[in-house]
């Protein structure tokens, strides 16, 4: 049957554009590399608070840099990123608590849907025009009422704490469980290094699909 797939945990928040980039790259490689990708919806504001860090967007030069970086990477990684002008003020105000609780509920009740629903939420936040940027929608609000149970709230808290225990000060983090070691890698720009640690081949962020394992 072949060697046991290595578990990779991806801790992410849809508020984080770099989380989207990392997510898409790993989703592409999950059928190429011998890995088992576990998606872990987390709350980035919780990680910031617990680590004493602050969102990069709060530093003017980082915010400026981020806009360009995310745009260029979006093109290179072929993810349809579009940042509206007032994006940072919107995300810093609205946040992602509802969305991440929603995804937590999905992970608990319909885990097979988690990838698609996560992607849809990223598309909403990062691919829409300025006036639609943000998390609240009638639909989400309705569902939110159904899922704001202690069970879901606690699960999101636990997942976020797990990320913190791995040493997270931001997102995304990819935790690779290898035979003898666990590695926590921060950012969407450690995938080539991850390939090296897994003993797998890096074929860029858009690997040819024909390499998929059957």
In terms of CB distance, is 39 or 185 closer to its own copies? 185
Residues of this chain, 117-176, that bind its own copies according to CB under 8 A: 167-169
- Residue 137 CB, nearest approach to its own copies (Å): 33
Annotation marks residue 42 as catalytic: no
- Residue 13 CB, nearest approach to its own copies (Å): 17
- Of 31, 38, 51, 127, which lies in the binding site for its own copies, with binding defined by CB under 8 A? 51
Omega before 172 within 30 of 0, i.e. cis: yes
In terms of CB distance, is 48 or 143 closer to its own copies? 48
- Residue 168 CB, nearest approach to its own copies (Å): 7
In terms of CB distance, is 16 or 118 closer to its own copies? 16
Closest CA to 95 of 133, 151, 147: 133
Active site residues: 16
């Amino acid at each position: 049957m072949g060697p046991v797939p290595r578990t990779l945990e991806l801790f992410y928040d849809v508020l984080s554009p770099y989380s989207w980039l990392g997510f898409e790259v790993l989703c592409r490689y999950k059928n190429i590399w011998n890995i088992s990708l576990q998606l872990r919806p987390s709350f980035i504001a919780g990680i910031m608070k617990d680590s004493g860090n602050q969102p990069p967007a709060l530093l003017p030069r980082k915010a400026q840099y981020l806009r360009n970086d995310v745009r260029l990477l979006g093109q290179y990684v072929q993810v349809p990123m579009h940042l509206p002008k007032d994006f940072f003020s919107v995300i810093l105000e609205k946040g992602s608590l509802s969305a991440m609780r929603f995804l937590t509920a999905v992970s608990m009740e319909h885990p097979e849907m988690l990838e698609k629903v996560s992607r849809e939420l990223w598309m909403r936040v990062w691919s829409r025009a300025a006036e639609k940027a943000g998390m609240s929608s009638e639909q989400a609000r309705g569902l939110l009422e159904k899922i704001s149970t202690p069970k879901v709230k606690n699960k999101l808290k636990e997942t976020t704490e797990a990320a913190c225990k791995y040493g997270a000060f931001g997102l995304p983090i990819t935790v690779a469980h290898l035979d003898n070691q666990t590695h926590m890698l921060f950012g969407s720009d450690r995938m080539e290094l991850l390939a090296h640690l897994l003993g797998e081949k890096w074929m860029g962020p858009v690997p040819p699909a024909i390499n998929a394992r059957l």
